[in-house]
Amino acid sequence: MSSSFIQRLRCPTLTSGLCMRRIEPQEFEVFFDQRELRKETCLLYEINWGGGRNSIWRHTGQNTSKHVEINFIEKFTSERYFYPSTRCSVIWFLSWSPCGECSKAITEFLSRHPNVTLFIYVARLYHHMDQRNRQGLRDLISRGVTIQIMTEQEYCYCWRNFVNYPPSNEVYWPRYPNPWMRMYVLELYCIILGLPPCLKIIRRHQHPLTFFTLNLQSCHYQRIPPHILWATGLI
């Protein structure tokens, strides 16, 4: 997310947009911790209808019997009549990236609503070794969806706009160390470029820690920009 975009959304006139339920600080930290592999998915989203300054809706959602992305699509299409010609920008902050099935549903949704622009920021990559999930993300990108890993900038933005933070704690500094973000950034590059996975995540039974390791092959060194490789601090 560019800094100018963040600043635009922080404008006081824009924050007067309708803001629905905020999540509690502990919920935010647990759901969006990149070191944890929490099963449930949390979605924080905002919809900007027609580009109007006071037309921002913010809301949150979690998985039910359906994945949160499907819940969003059903809610979006059922709660308000939506003219196909209406321009609309949607931003998702997801604790897990969409699975292959949800990616298909999102692609179909965007085909039916060509004037909807979707930006997706994800904290973690969902079962990133699974080829169906990798292909799903590539299909979304081909359809024009922007997908990025959440960085400190997005964590701070979510904290201020979606979290019921204590009055004295408006400025949030993410508690998560950088290396996990960098590794997910690197793995997302592999997915986009159609390279084999380089990130391996090991969760041991009855062990509280999750291990992240990198297994880079020559194709990774050849195709991935060097600054992305070096940014992990592990190379």
Q: Which residues are catalytic?
A: 69
For Zn ion, the closer of residues 9 and 94 by Cβ is: 94
For Zn ion, the closer of residues 43 and 99 by Cβ is: 99
State the nearest-atom distance from the C-beta of 69 to Zn ion, in Å: 6
State the nearest-atom distance from the C-beta of 156 to Zn ion, in Å: 27
State the nearest-atom distance from the C-beta of 120 to Zn ion, in Å: 12
Cβ(132)–Cβ(165) below 8 Å: no
Cβ(60)–Cβ(23) below 8 Å: yes
Task: Mark residues 7-46: x for contact with Zn ion by CB under 5 A, - for none.
Answer: ----------------------------------------
Pick the piece of the chain touching Zn ion (CB under 5 A) from 28-36, 48-56, 59-67, 146-154.
59-67
Q: Does 120 bind Zn ion (CB under 5 A)?
A: no
Number of residues that bind Zn ion (CB under 5 A): 3
b/e sequence 200-225, b meaning 16+ C-beta within 10 Å:
ebeeeeeeeeeebebebeeebeeebe
Nearest residue to Zn ion by CB is: 102
Report how far apart, in Å, the C-alpha atoms of 146 and of each of 121, 155, 209 are: 8, 17, 31
Backbone angles phi, psi at 74, to 5 degrees: -65, -40
For Zn ion, the closer of residues 67 and 124 by Cβ is: 67
Q: Does 67 bind Zn ion (CB under 5 A)?
A: yes
Subset of residues 89 to 108 that bind Zn ion, contact rule: CB under 5 A:
99, 102
- Contacts (Cβ under 8 Å, ≥6 apart) of 115: 84, 85, 86, 87, 88
Quote the CA–CA distance of 124 and 121 in Å, as a whole number: 9
Q: State the amino acid at position 44 in one-letter form.
A: L
Q: Which residues bind Zn ion (CB under 5 A)?
A: 67, 99, 102
